[in-house]
């Protein structure tokens, strides 16, 4: 019998996870678009754009090279990917907690989180090649969610949350803020 109330993980909770994952991933990856544009220009025309700080300022001054080229597809793609990964991790993590039981999950919470993130990554990238997925993306995703979970616990007091049991009772804006901030930090 569980001493933990799993009823708090309802549609609203999962919706918050999806929204936070979507927004956080979309914002952070789209914000990096100018760096990708600059990197690509340097790679495609190394003699015209050598690798140095002046290249960046030179590209910024040139009106014909929009630095957010590809920003909209990037935002749309990562919006969906963030929902799938963050939402997936939450669903899998909570289902594992129900299955394993309160004490076991508390004792192995980082392992459970890492397992959930690895499964969510595999589901999200099911059509990618298996070898690159297992060698690069799965360990990266496990580390990202491990760090995000630790940051979430450490940053919660800055959002007025004294213990992690209070997160679901916080306002939607507070939950999104904590999730996006810890996700950005990860």
In this structure, is residue 178 part of a structural domain? yes
- Residue 115 located in a structural domain: yes
In a domain, 3, yes or no: no
Distance CA 68, CA 104 (A): 47
Domain that holds residue 112: 9-185
Q: Please count the structural domains in the chain.
A: 1
169/108 Cα distance (integer angstroms): 25
- Structural domain contains residue 168: yes
Question: Cα dihedral sign for 87, 89, 90, 95?
Answer: positive
Confidence tier at 64 by pLDDT (50, 70, 90)? low
Q: Whole-model pTM above 0.85?
A: no
pLDDT, tens digit (0-9, with 9 covering 90-100), for 106-133:
888 888 888 888 888 777 665 455 655 5
Start-end of H helices in the chain: 11-31, 33-44, 53-61, 71-100, 102-107, 109-124, 130-132, 138-155, 172-185
Contacts of 40 (CB under 8 A, 6+ apart): none
């Amino acid at each position: 019998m569980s001493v933990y109330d799993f009823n708090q993980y309802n549609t609203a909770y999962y919706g918050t996870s999806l929204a936070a994952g979507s927004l956080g991933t979309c914002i952070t990856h789209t914000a990096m678009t100018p760096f990708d544009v600059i990197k690509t220009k340097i790679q495609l025309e190394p003699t015209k754009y050598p690798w140095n700080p002046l290249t960046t300022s030179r590209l910024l001054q040139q009106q014909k090279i929009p630095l957010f080229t590809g920003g909209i597809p990037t935002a749309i793609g990562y919006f969906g990917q963030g929902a799938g990964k963050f939402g997936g991790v939450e669903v899998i993590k909570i289902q594992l907690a129900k299955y394993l039981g309160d004490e076991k999950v508390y004792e192995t919470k980082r392992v459970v989180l890492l397992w959930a993130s690895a499964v969510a990554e595999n589901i999200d990238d099911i059509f990618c090649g298996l070898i690159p997925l297992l060698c690069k993306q799965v360990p990266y995703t496990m580390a990202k969610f491990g760090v995000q979970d630790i940051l979430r616990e450490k940053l919660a007091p800055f959002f007025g949350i004294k213990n992690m049991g209070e997160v679901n009772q916080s306002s939607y804006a507070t939950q999104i803020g904590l999730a996006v901030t810890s996700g950005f930090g990860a």
